[in-house]
Chains A and B, each alone.
Chain A
Amino acid sequence: MKVAIAGKGGSGKTTIAGTLARVMADRGQRVVAIDDDSNPNLALTVGAGTAASGAPGIPRDLLEERTDAEGNKRLELSIPAEDFIDRFGVPVRDNLTLLIMGQPNHGGSG
């Protein structure tokens, strides 16, 4: 089951997303909650506390640049999604992981 949640800022979208993730995890599902918002608050509403909101950007070495058929370059995962979630996700509960997309962390490589 894959659910995306949209709404204007201030609509309560993130509260609903985080609580929904918790409810589904409480029902025994293995859940990944993905924060795609440029102003990430999902950490709080999912119950990961404030520590997770300072999570670093995605390590650059887990991404690779590919060029699509139209010649557009874009970043894609260089490892399987499950490995990525395990390595980069913030564990909230045994069966609930938070992923903050944010921006890639380029480190000193410029």
Chain B
Amino acid sequence: MRGVLNGLVAETSRTTIVDLEAGLEHLSRGTARHVDTLLIIGEPYFKSLETASRSFALAKDLGIKQIRMVANKVRTPRDEETVRDFASRHGLPVEGVVPFDDAVLAADERGEALIEYQPAAPSVAAIRRLADGVLNGRR
């Protein structure tokens, strides 16, 4: 289905959000060429950050213009520091920090969209700020 995704991303004039398969290995150069921004989601522990840095290297090889990391499930200031230290050592810009949020689990348990279950949840607020950053990066 690579050709189909490639065609969609290349041709559509709509704002496009693609939830990729877990790895970047399946992302073709053809599709990558049309992606303005890649967000790599990482959690604040070593293995997850290592995976993020591997994805970063792969995404650079694919020629994606803007590659950003988003830290998710951040519980403490120390968590955030861990992510920021790691990212700066690897030259990986951090675009957003999304806090650990019970609302995410609760929405999932109820089978509801997070933004409908609790539109003012801290995690939703962080994703709104992320949207601002991503849209501003277009300038």
Contact of B19 among A17, A31, A80, A84 (CB under 8 A): A17
Given contacts A15-B104, A44-B111, A75-B1, contact A6 B17 (CB under 8 A): no
Q: Whole-angstrom distance between the alpha carbons of A58 and B72 in the complex?
A: 32
Q: Does B84 contact A (CB under 8 A)?
A: no
* B41-A16 in contact (CB<8A): yes
Q: Does B61 contact A (CB under 8 A)?
A: no
Chain A minimum-CB-distance residue to B23:
A6
* A16-B131 in contact (CB<8A): no
Q: Does A13 contact B (CB under 8 A)?
A: yes
Can you name 23 A-B residue pairings with CB atoms under 8 Å?
A2-B16, A2-B34, A4-B18, A4-B20, A4-B27, A5-B41, A6-B22, A8-B48, A11-B48, A12-B41, A12-B72, A13-B22, A16-B72, A16-B98, A18-B114, A18-B115, A24-B131, A34-B5, A34-B9, A66-B3, A76-B3, A76-B4, A82-B11
Name the 9 nearest CB pairs between A and B, nearest first. A7-B41, A81-B11, A47-B113, A17-B19, A76-B3, A74-B3, A12-B72, A2-B16, A29-B15
Known contacts A20-B131, A32-B12, A34-B19; 18 additional CB pairs below 8 A are: A1-B16, A1-B37, A5-B41, A15-B108, A17-B17, A20-B127, A24-B17, A33-B17, A33-B19, A34-B5, A34-B8, A37-B20, A42-B19, A47-B113, A58-B1, A77-B4, A81-B12, A104-B1
Query: A residues bordering B, Cβ < 8 Å?
Result: 1-9, 11-24, 27, 29-38, 42, 44-47, 50, 58, 63, 66, 74-77, 80-82, 84-85, 97, 99, 101, 103-104
